[in-house]
Structure 1
Amino acid sequence: MRNIIEVKDLRKEFKSYSSRQGLKGAFRDLLTRQYKVIPAVHDITFSVKQGEMVGYIGENGAGKSTSIKMLTGILTPTSGSVVVNGMNPHKEREKFVQSIGVVFGQRSQLWWDIAVQESFRLLKKVYKVSDEDYKEHMEHVIKTLDIGPLLDKPVRKLSLGQRMRCELAAALLHNPPLLFLDEPTIGLDVLVKLKIRQFLKEMNEKYKTTILLTTHDLSDIEALCERVVMLDEGKVIYDGALEQLRHHWGEGKKIQLQFKEQVTSEQLNLLTSDLKVVWEQGQKSNVWIALVTDQEAQMSELIGRVVGAHEILDLSVKEISTEEIIRKIYEKGQAITNNSNSNGGKHGQIY
């Protein structure tokens, strides 16, 4: 499959101005301003194939939104190249926007005071969608997202979950080959999230819609994406399979134990001093969590020792979550795995 997004050495710099103190400093600022150049996106390179669903993740300030704005043509790069759907987003903007759909969780593309269906009709004219194509495509979208009863209501009277479903329908009205989603499920309840996730899967399967998903809700990534691109301080620090990320950083399990009586960390560490285990205090004073490597013999030995020495009320074994894996990567810094990907990117690698 062809690459639908190609980014090479992409950089975006902003000037941060500072003011001098006092009246004299204010006059000097009128003539010459002091500033420093801050790179928000620092020479990132990656590509996305047609039909992929990619999670684009990172902490606040990592450069996600800035790079998304360059990919959608809102911002002009300082240097580097961006090719999306075979076009330069900021140089061929009018033609380019016909080929993408965008949903920003905190911004609306629907008109606030008119009915949802009127917004759809206006967007139909903007994107020059024929009556036949509109009917065939939007009937499926409206039915799947269950927004039929909402079409005659003004957008301002919709709940957040209802509005986000309508926003998603609006972004896909012209059936674009590429969809950018920036925090699409922020503030939504579980049922609405599930409905949106299922819909996105169906669109990807039916139309091979490529999706670039930016979110802080890693359950969205786990439900939809097989690949993640992770940013930190404007640089790509991981680009590869989510499963591979789990394999290299998520080895081990969490054993949660609820004791009948309070137990100290000194008692537990003494009991398991020769085992590779890290103890963490749970939310309750009599609950402790053991982080162990995924070895059955080690787990059995630990459980046997603890149960033999203390009375246990409850015990559960869980996999280490993706959220904990991401947190571990940011806390511990960089590590390298020597895998590469066939399409020229460094997939499966933490830089």
Structure 2
Amino acid sequence: NGAGKSTTIKMLTGILVPDSGTATTLGLVPWQSRRSVAKRIGVVFGQRTQLWWDLPLSDSLDLVRHMYGVPAQLFAENLTTCRELLDLDPFLDRPVRQLSLGQRMRGDLAAALIHDPEILFLDEPTIGLDLVAKARIRDALTHLNQSRGVTVLLTTHDLADVARLCQRVLLIDHGRVVHDGGLEALRTQFGSGCTLVVDLAEPSASDKAHRHDAHETSERGVSPLVVPGATETRSEGNRHWLAFDRREVSASDLIASVASRYPLSDLTLEEPDIETVIAGLYASRTE
């Protein structure tokens, strides 16, 4: 909170003028070329609707068409696309005030797409939505980006949005960009700690004797796995958790090392989730 995400969106769309510095959207300074920029972008603020509260959604979309001067044929085509993509038909003729939050968000998204924007700015588009509504919004955004080439710039607190939608991630801390790149680069730099979950096959008598002779037995009577580059953090029966830093040893090398030492039933690689990665980034900045 307070990092400057919404403020950035408002500057890039021409709603706010910065105290210093400059910005461009589609090659134009947005607060100096409001009308030119507005014709080429769509904007949705998750906590503020652009629809008319007492009008049916269909009338709101028609008003947006007239505001942007969208030709009737193009409007019909875009409305058909939005109806199919966002499943608008069940509530298209219902007053906006009667819509659920998820339905209203889909209506706002349709309103932002009626004029064929080149860039879609979304400020917290999934805030307050249930899992089904979030999934529908994410699927729609992915389709728009892949099939129509619409660039989507979104701010979000929901890191599942980031993991499922974003090819490029910008992290802002007190108004400053602290990361600009892909998710994998982010994971590599700030989420290098991984876990390899090893399920051992039932060892033969000779294997048991070898493990007992070669390795110290834990207090529970289970011999810990000893593998260079990894540390066993816990075990339950034949299942063992090995922590490792992928900057020091690759997962493939570690797996090969485990396979050469122990009889295996299954292996699972657990990478840090996006929340853990971003928490690590901000923690590193406060140290």
Q: Could you state the TM-score of these two structures normalised by the residue count of structure 2?
A: 0.77
Question: Which one-letter code corresponds to 1:181 in the other structure?
Answer: L
Q: Does 1:170 align with 2:170?
A: no
CA–CA distance in structure 2, aligned partners of residues 277 and 61 of structure 1: 39
CA–CA distance in structure 2, aligned partners of residues 317 and 91 of structure 1: 51
How far 1:256 moved relative to its partner? 7.5
C-alpha offsets along residues 226-266 of structure 1, whole Å, 9 cap, x if unaligned? 11111111111111121111222222323689xxxxxxxxx
By percentage of residues, which structure has more helix? 2
CA–CA distance in structure 2, aligned partners of residues 240 and 299 of structure 1: 29
Relative to structure 1, the CA distance from residue 62 to residue 127 in structure 2 (aligned partners, 3 Å threshold; closer, same or farther) is same
Q: Report the number of matched residues.
A: 255
Question: Which one-letter code corresponds to 1:152 in the other structure?
Answer: D
**Contact map agreement 1:278 1:292 (CA 8 A) in 2:** no
How far 1:96 moved relative to its partner? 2.0
Please state whether the residue corresponding to 1:253 is helix, strand or coil.
strand
**Contact map agreement 1:105 1:186 (CA 8 A) in 2:** yes
Q: Does 1:326 align with 2:267?
A: no
**Contact map agreement 1:73 1:90 (CA 8 A) in 2:** yes
Please state whether the residue corresponding to 1:149 is helix, strand or coil.
helix
CA–CA distance in structure 2, aligned partners of residues 300 and 253 of structure 1: 16
By percentage of residues, which structure has more strand? 1
Show the 5 A alignment for 1:29-178: 60-178=1-119
How far 1:331 moved relative to its partner? 0.2
Q: Does 1:222 align with 2:163?
A: yes
**Contact map agreement 2:230 2:242 (CA 8 A) in 1:** no
How far 1:205 moved relative to its partner? 2.1
CA–CA distance in structure 1, aligned partners of residues 233 and 56 of structure 2: 56
Query: Unaligned stretches of 5+ in structure 1?
Result: 1-59, 258-266, 281-287, 303-314, 336-351
Larger RCO (alpha carbons 8 Å, 6+ apart):
1
Q: Which moved more, 1:202-211 or 1:147-156?
A: 202-211
Q: Which moved more, 1:195-204 or 1:148-157?
A: 195-204
CA–CA distance in structure 1, aligned partners of residues 242 and 277 of structure 2: 16
CA–CA distance in structure 1, aligned partners of residues 80 and 167 of structure 2: 29
**Contact map agreement 2:191 2:280 (CA 8 A) in 1:** no
CA–CA distance in structure 1, aligned partners of residues 229 and 187 of structure 2: 22
Q: Which residue number in structure 2 is paired with residue 236 of structure 1?
A: 177
**Contact map agreement 1:230 1:238 (CA 8 A) in 2:** yes
CA–CA distance in structure 1, aligned partners of residues 100 and 269 of structure 2: 38
Q: Which residue number in structure 2 is paired with residue 311 of structure 1?
A: none
Question: Which one-letter code corresponds to 2:279 in the other structure?
Answer: R
CA–CA distance in structure 1, aligned partners of residues 241 and 282 of structure 2: 21
CA–CA distance in structure 1, aligned partners of residues 276 and 50 of structure 2: 34
**Contact map agreement 1:292 1:299 (CA 8 A) in 2:** no
Q: Alpha carbon RMSD of aligned pairs, Å? A: 3.3
Q: Could you state the TM-score of these two structures normalised by the residue count of structure 1?
A: 0.64
* Percent of residue pairs bearing the same amino acid type: 43
Query: Unaligned stretches of 5+ in structure 2?
Result: 199-218, 235-239, 259-266
Show the 5 A alignment for 1:280-319: 291-294=243-246, 295=249, 318-319=270-271
CA–CA distance in structure 1, aligned partners of residues 33 and 254 of structure 2: 59
Q: Which residue number in structure 2 is paired with residue 199 of structure 1?
A: 140
How far 1:299 moved relative to its partner? 7.7
Please state whether the residue corresponding to 1:236 is helix, strand or coil.
strand
CA–CA distance in structure 2, aligned partners of residues 334 and 130 of structure 1: 53
CA–CA distance in structure 2, aligned partners of residues 324 and 299 of structure 1: 23
Please state whether the residue corresponding to 1:82 is helix, strand or coil.
coil
**Contact map agreement 2:225 2:232 (CA 8 A) in 1:** no
Q: Does 1:181 align with 2:133?
A: no
C-alpha offsets along residues 110-156 of structure 1, whole Å, 9 cap, x if unaligned? 11111000101111110111101101111011111101121110111
Please state whether the residue corresponding to 1:164 is helix, strand or coil.
helix
